[in-house]
Amino acid sequence: MAIARRPPPDLFKLAVNQWTQPFWQATKEHRLLLARCADCGHARMPPTPFCPQCQSQRIAWTALSGLGTVYSYTVVTRAILPDMDAYLPYVPAVITLDGADGMRLISNVVDIEVQAITVGLRVQVVWDDAPSQAVAVPRFAPVAA
């Protein structure tokens, strides 16, 4: 049995812009935010410059519970980067976020035997601090029973 591991949070360099900066700022406090249109309430993830429903640029950031459901996933057993060799296996996943009108976040499922991961698994956010970039990376572990 292999446990889904946590890829190193500092392996990749985040490119933050004015539309994503509030999201990453909140991660420092381990808060998961969703961008909603401040005019019509439409959720958008990732936050884009214009609302696809009404073209407004105004965003109201709202806090999410951090709960979600595995929509899709894959188990990586061969590293494509040498720096990832020590972190196998890891599990990239698409998570449908509770309270986000069906919006999904690409992340990792961690801290669970890979054979126990299924589509529909209930998960909750866990945070991996990335000190060199002054953010935390949201990852998802099974909901505690």
User: Closer CB to Zn ion, residue 11 or residue 40?
Assistant: 40
| Residues near Zn ion (CB under 5 A), total | 8
- Which span (19-27, 38-46, 65-73, 79-87) binds Zn ion, by CB under 5 A? 38-46
Among 11, 30, 49, 53, binds Zn ion (CB under 5 A): 53
What tokens does 19 get?
A: 């539309």
CB of 60 to Zn ion, least distance (A): 10
Give the pairing type, strands 67-73 and 91-97.
antiparallel
**Nearest in space to 93 (alpha carbons), one of 114, 79, 78:** 114
Rg of the chain in Å (alpha carbons): 16
Task: Work out which of 3, 11, 54, 119 binds Zn ion, going by CB under 5 A.
Answer: 54
Dihedral sign for Cα atoms in the order 62, 66, 69, 71: positive
Q: Where does this chain bind Zn ion (CB under 5 A)?
A: 37, 39-40, 42, 51, 53-54, 56
